[in-house]
Structure 1
């Protein structure tokens, strides 16, 4: 009986050694170069300010009121605020959280002291009345951070003011030993308004949000860890086929000229050989200071750059379409003065294989979301908001 050797669907000539092994002297080789990928700098990009909440005119009527007088957890922390500002008490456990506080000035306020907690490598950024006060850019050794920020201008007596606190939450602690460390809260642990004479007895009324729906999250396919509290995420713009008529033409490689967060999305097509294993990834260089990035591929979050050195994010087969249309979305969070993102799309060395055709994971595309929060409600809207509506 004639024997055949078939590798990756192709017959190969072979010789049999005295030991009984088979030797193939000629085998198909892949091209030396890696496959040609989409040139992201030549694509049509669309974007939107995804930290619209820093405006004091932003409508917070649909937000969750932080009105719980007693926190559900007291593990390794004592509640020091009039109401709990632990995000998990309100059903928000993952990714970016946004707190908005309203208060009426007495006329002597000079600074805000605040203690936040978000886990190792977390960050926070703080605004008052749309003016950036400062940020904690994160540290691998810091799970919480106490900082005092001086107000940029004097507050008149009986004037109304808005504080916006953005926390890039790293998730809950792992329970390495039986010490209930997963109960350590995330959010604002303490705050104080101060004057030159000390702490002012003045209350701040807080609301907060995280991923849309909190524990009752909408995207059951991608799961509870996929989304955070950015404006674009709550509206589902990171999902495939978003409503680009609500966005503006914006180019991510122009960079951000100051603190804030911008969402970008684009569509691209791949046409890679079906019988080749082409490992695809995004590289986010770790030499950009005071900067964070969130990467979504076809609606799935597969990259969250914080401090580094982890800056290479692999996109699994079944998530990215090697032979067709894809949607890529980024959120860039600038914590400092100016940032120029430089995310790159790359392929590792391709491998000829007998890989079967990969079926894409069935997952929902964009559709209008019930309960998503709307934008500012006054006439003092940015041109981008007018374009969006």
Structure 2
């Protein structure tokens, strides 16, 4: 085994990153508590904090309560130290979010992705949105710490390429990280959209200190998965982990865009719900909807909310298949919490509650009911918020 030597400068950079991450996670913290949480010496923390204060990355905000002796000086990130931009690309939308250095959202832009017009058109649109947001707020590019991309998989997170996303035909080995960095002149980070959303939940959401977070995003087209373990995305061998949308939940089921059959996303995404409704209508089952109209997953969700039995049953099928896959996730990975996001999931309370109900009915593993099941903290912005988290954490990961 070869060991990489770490010089004093590299160790200092690691310690600074660690300190900033802890301050970000806790919001407000004292030097004494930083010593405890980093396990660094008091002298090292003193020197690091002095440098971070001089660089304007953190600030002192007054005194805390004393446990005996002098009151501790409290520290927080300086919100004006810089900006981050998170950009999610999915099959329907480009979602762009800007935050300050603390992660407070400053602005959001939503645009149709128009992926049917080709990758060059969509990438041009992404660059335009980023540039227009920077211009709108009169921000200097050197003050933008980075851009975090959250895109459909499969991806190579090391090379920054979209390999061959099944739901984006023609996007083969697209080096989107380097393209965006080159076009904007801003350092760019990169991750699949659902793992990015999980990272955003860990740093900015309702994770409540949970060490193992699983996220599933159920879209109008496609279903993604992502796992964060102690603040780091788990990528697995060859960047191939957490492709929950392409796990088999129905032997001999519906053909999938990946070339397989019976994959979760072929059985449970928004397009699947629409297909179930159209199949029922073809059998002359009564519904608010009709075969004469273009039916969307939003139509299915809203009609189910009104009590349309055909749409209720369509969502029930999707929920059942989701529960099969997520029950397997609990048995294999045992996360503390599962977050549910994506535009189809966001459109339907019924889908969320039925999925949770079916999961909790599973007899094994015995702790299945103890795993928290929560809606995404950020709705359809989750991937873009995850892109911001990727910028601030430098995309640390475990293999």
- The answer, yes or no, to whether TM exceeds 0.5 is no
Of Structure 1 and Structure 2, which has the larger fraction of its residues in helix? 2
Q: Which has the larger radius of gyration?
A: 1
Of Structure 1 and Structure 2, which has the larger fraction of its residues in strand? 1
Which protein, 1 or 2, shows the higher relative CO under an 8 Å CA cutoff with sep ≥ 6?
1
